[in-house]
Amino acid sequence: MNKTFLKVTTLVLASASMASAASYVGGSLGSGASLHYQTDITDTSAVRYSLDLAAVNFNFGQLSAGGSVDYLNDISGQDFAGLQPYYGFGLGAGVGIGSVTGVTLYPHVLAGLRYNVAGPLSVFGELNAGVAIGVSNAGTGVGFGSNARIGINYQLP
């Protein structure tokens, strides 16, 4: 009986904390274009899932697609005239099929500023940098990668 009560209590508390988590959709432009879905983990952290449209290129026989998962965390106690700084880390991946077939991984760190425009709408600017690792039929390579983007988030009701 006590185990059942504990399980039910845990489920209720978990669902209550998940119900209060905000979710967002948005997009960004910069070194590339992306569409993303973001969900809050806590009041100061979130996870963002992105589809990288900049990596989708139709270059006469080459098709590439990519995406990333990023963990974002607010820098507590910092607010510069409405600009909220944040940092994080993530993993990007891409697959190319065509004249060059291969896989690219991009572990990276990031930093950005977010500004709440009005109600559910916010804008952000972000920089990220990391190691780009590629394996393809053209060879293997390791290099430095970086990206910059400006984006928009819309909080879902």
141 falls within a domain = yes
7 within some domain: no
Query: What are 108's strand-pairing partners?
Result: 90, 130
Q: Is residue 121 part of a domain?
A: yes
Question: Could you report the average pLDDT of every consecutive run of 10 residues in the chain (157 residues)?
Answer: 44 44 93 90 96 63 84 89 95 87 95 95 97 93 93 96
Taking the C-alpha atoms of residue 44 and residue 52, their distance in angstroms, rounded to an integer, is 25
pLDDT for res 8: 39
Pairwise CA distance, residues 109 & 7, whole Å: 37
Q: How many domains does the chain have?
A: 1
**pTM score:** 0.79
Cα–Cα nearest to 22, from 35, 40, 36, 37: 40
Report pLDDT for 110. 97
- Angle 43-45-49 from CA coordinates, rounded to 5°: 130
Residue 55, domain member (yes or no): yes
Q: Is residue 14 in a domain?
A: no
9 part of a folded domain:
no
Residue 16 in any domain: the answer is no
User: At 90, which CATH number?
Assistant: 2.40.160.20
Residues with Cβ < 8 Å from 1, sequence gap 6 or more? Answer: none
